Amino acid sequence: MLEFITNLKQRYQIIQSGLAEESTQWTTFQASIEQLTLIESFLHKIQLIEHGDVPLNIAVIGPTQSGKSTVVNLLLAQDAAGVSPLAGYTVHPQGFAVDLKIEDLSYIAQHFSGFREVQQFSQDSESYACYSLSHLSTQNLPRCLLWDTPDFDSIDAQSYREGVLKSLALADVLVLVVSKEKYADQSVWDALALIEPLNQPVLAVINKLIADSQSLVADSFKQRWQQIRQDKTPAIMPILFTKGDIAQECQTELINLLQHHMHKVQRKKNAAVAISFMQQHWQSWLAPVRLEQETQTTWQILIDQAVKQAITEYQRDYLDHPHHYDTFQNALAQLLTLLEVPGLANIIAQSRKILAWPLRKVFAIGKNKYTQAFPKTQETAVLQQIAEHVFLQLGDQVLDQIDQTQGNNKWWKAINSQLRQDKAVVLQHFERGTDIYHQDFKQQIETTAQGLYHQLEEHPALLNGLRATRVTADAAMLGLAVQAGGIGLHDLLIAPAMLSVTSYLAESAIGSYLQRAETELKQQQLNTVKHQLFDQILLQQLSSLSTKMMHNTFFNISTRQLAEAEAQLEQKRHGLRIL
């Protein structure tokens, strides 16, 4: 599941990078990216806890200028966190390891994968993918890691949002720090709504209060909490505005409240919490993925229909065409080469050699030129025309989809461009495949001829009569097509003779076998062409066009990948083991 969430987040980020920031889609994608980043980090935390001893993590969070770093220093009872009157001063997560050894913190580098660890006060403000770790001791807190986090509402907050989200996911306890000026900001409540499903104990600190407005602000905060979240209103720690040091009593109360919240941590529920979070957002995350998959399904249906129609056209325009189909005639030509007449064999061989020589020269010299002017077979011409028609048909249907589709016509425009771009390559591949098929299928023609010959051997009178017929029909001419290496040349050289032989066999005792052999050869030819040319070349290459489209435009998550992820989510909902 973690792998799927990571992949989905990365696809969102890549696609978003090509969108205009002012667009509605960019904003929608940003919300999904933040949710995915949060749950990805939370799942990673679960994994780290399962594989090692991870101390408690406390994150101090809040909007800019609310006093987060001041609260961190109060909790640590020392000036550890940098404090500044400038908004957005803290732009990297800063961790303070309380009574922890270096080896206790090895998990941090894994959690902040892609981030650099730097010294606390030497952080590069231009590089946001950083974090710092400082080691210290204090009597106020038990062994833990306390994080001072960047704000989530300043102008530059979007730039270091990932660091904030990783810190939020890692935290076992959250200390929310707001001021009387900031507690009502929408950014505060958007963040609280986002993390609500993680079920983390929250301690609310309302800072910079004036005594007269303390009760009013606290009540207003509680009301807003009840409007936004479904869980119990958190404990509220008010801190009055002061120009000097904060009173010792206030510091002690704050530390006691935090320690109390640390005892509320229930890590055993993390898996159930993660599942609940994913189920809450699953449909919205996958909505654009499903739309893309539906579009791809429609595209695949168009391909399947076009290829199916192409097979029908092949049967109609070649296999069942009375003038175009010539494969069985080639089998008969092969049969006649087997019918050597005793005493005439040498003469036939010499005449065949003489007559075939010019044709062999034609095939050897300028083969490509000859093929372009005269297709090798009628079948080749039909297949090439059909392949061209498939592209024309699909091109028209894609244009119709662009005109009719509102939700995903960007995908159809991309596939239209890819279809035109790859047309020549696919057709060349189809042509080469046709040549290979013709060469391979000669063996099947030979097998059919051998089968006819064996049938004739069982009828000696018919065999002798056919041999006599062959002599009168000029054996050299009848064998020329096969010996010359060309299929279909009998249309030019031996059609009358072949017709007489075919009629003779059809009216003989093996007439029914002859018809059955032709039917079987046609079926084998249909199956071979369908598999080798239409399925393995045309169908597969057209289907692969969608995967060739630019990867910075689409999710490219298959229905199988999505189904596997949803099956895992359903299983884990019952088993509660998320990893």
Look up the pTM and report it: 0.71
- Comparison of pLDDT for 473 and 188, the residue scoring more: 188
The two structure tokens encoding residue 357: 């020589």
The two structure tokens encoding residue 27: 């904003």
- Report the sign of the C-alpha dihedral through residues 328, 333, 337, 343, in that order: positive
Please answer whether residues 145 and 93 qualify as being in contact, where contact means their C-beta atoms are separated by less than 8 angstroms: no
For residue 140, pLDDT over 70 is answered with yes
Beta bridge partners of 176: 61, 204
Residue 192: strand, helix, or coil: helix
- Look up residue 532 and give its DSSP letter: I
Please answer whether residues 152 and 191 qualify as being in contact, where contact means their C-beta atoms are separated by less than 8 angstroms: yes
Q: How far is CA 341 from CA 13, 475, 500, in A?
A: 78, 9, 18
Please answer whether residues 55 and 100 qualify as being in contact, where contact means their C-beta atoms are separated by less than 8 angstroms: yes
pLDDT at 155: 53
Angstrom distance (rounded) from CA 253 to CA 237 = 8
Q: Are strands 173-179 and 116-118 parallel, antiparallel or unpaired?
A: unpaired
The two structure tokens encoding residue 467: 């041999």
Q: What is the mean pLDDT of residues 164-186?
A: 89
Provide the edge-to-edge strand list for the sheet that holds 57-61. 116-118, 130-136, 94-98, 144-148, 57-61, 173-179, 202-209, 235-240
- Comparison of pLDDT for 210 and 374, the residue scoring more: 210
- Look up residue 141 and give its DSSP letter: S
For residue 459, pLDDT over 60 is answered with yes
Instruction: Convert 550-561 to b/e letters by CB count within 10 Å (16 or more is b).
Output: eeeebbbbeeeb
Q: Domain extents for the chain?
A: 53-265, 321-548
- Residues 6 or more apart whose CB falls under 8 angstroms from that of 473 comprise 494, 497, 500, 501
Q: Are strands 173-179 and 94-98 parallel, antiparallel or unpaired?
A: unpaired
- Percent of all residues in the chain with a pLDDT value above 70, rounded to a whole number: 78
Neighbours of 455 (CB within 10 A): 19
pLDDT at 458: 79
Please answer whether residues 577 and 271 qualify as being in contact, where contact means their C-beta atoms are separated by less than 8 angstroms: yes
pLDDT at 367: 43
Task: Categorize the per-residue pLDDT at 507 as very low, low, confident or very high, splitting at 50, 70 and 90.
Answer: low
Angstrom distance (rounded) from CA 154 to CA 157 = 5
Q: What is the mean pLDDT of residues 35-64?
A: 91
Start-to-end CA span in the chain (Å)? 7
pLDDT at 432: 94
Q: How far is CA 504 from CA 213, 221, 224, 401, 472, in A?
A: 114, 103, 99, 56, 13
Neighbours of 39 (CB within 10 A): 26
Phi-psi region of 353 (alpha: psi -120 to 50; beta: other; left: phi over 0): alpha
Residue 81: strand, helix, or coil: coil
- Residues 6 or more apart whose CB falls under 8 angstroms from that of 105 comprise 95, 97, 133, 145
Top mean pLDDT of 26-40, 88-102, 332-346, 455-469 is at 26-40
Q: What is the mean pLDDT of residues 62-80?
A: 86
Residues counted in the chain:
579
Q: Where are the alpha helices (DSSP H) in 458-544?
A: 460-472, 475-484, 490-493, 495-506, 511-529, 540-543
Q: If you search the block for the tokens 């050894």, which residue do you land on?
A: 101
307-353: pLDDT as tens digits = 999 999 999 999 998 877 878 777 777 776 676 644 444 544 554 45
Q: What is the mean pLDDT of residues 63-74?
A: 86
> Dihedral, CA atoms, 530, 533, 536, 540, nearest 10 degrees?
-100
Please answer whether residues 274 and 43 qualify as being in contact, where contact means their C-beta atoms are separated by less than 8 angstroms: yes
3-state secondary structure 322-375: CCCCCHHHHHHHHHHHHCCCCCCHHHHHHHHHHHHHHHHHHHHCCHHHHHHHCC
- Comparison of pLDDT for 529 and 518, the residue scoring more: 529
Please answer whether residues 184 and 63 qualify as being in contact, where contact means their C-beta atoms are separated by less than 8 angstroms: no
- What's the distance, CA 27 to chain centroid? 23
Q: How far is CA 234 from CA 29, 194, 218, in A?
A: 31, 16, 11
**Inter-axis angle of helices 409-457 and 378-404, to 10 degrees?**
160
78-103: pLDDT as tens digits = 887 765 544 446 678 899 999 888 88
107-124: pLDDT as tens digits = 898 898 888 888 876 655
Q: How far is CA 389 from CA 444, 534, 547, in A?
A: 28, 13, 23
Task: Categorize the per-residue pLDDT at 184 as very low, low, confident or very high, splitting at 50, 70 and 90.
Answer: confident
Q: Give the chain's mean pLDDT.
A: 81
Neighbours of 285 (CB within 10 A): 19
Task: Categorize the per-residue pLDDT at 375 as very low, low, confident or very high, splitting at 50, 70 and 90.
Answer: very low
| Geometric angle at alpha carbon 326, from 322 and 328, rounded to 5° | 105
CATH architecture of 53-265: 3-Layer(aba) Sandwich (3.40)
259-277: pLDDT as tens digits = 999 999 998 899 999 998 9
Beta bridge partners of 98: 136, 144
pLDDT at 339: 67
The two structure tokens encoding residue 424: 């020549």
For residue 497, pLDDT over 80 is answered with no
For residue 431, pLDDT over 60 is answered with yes
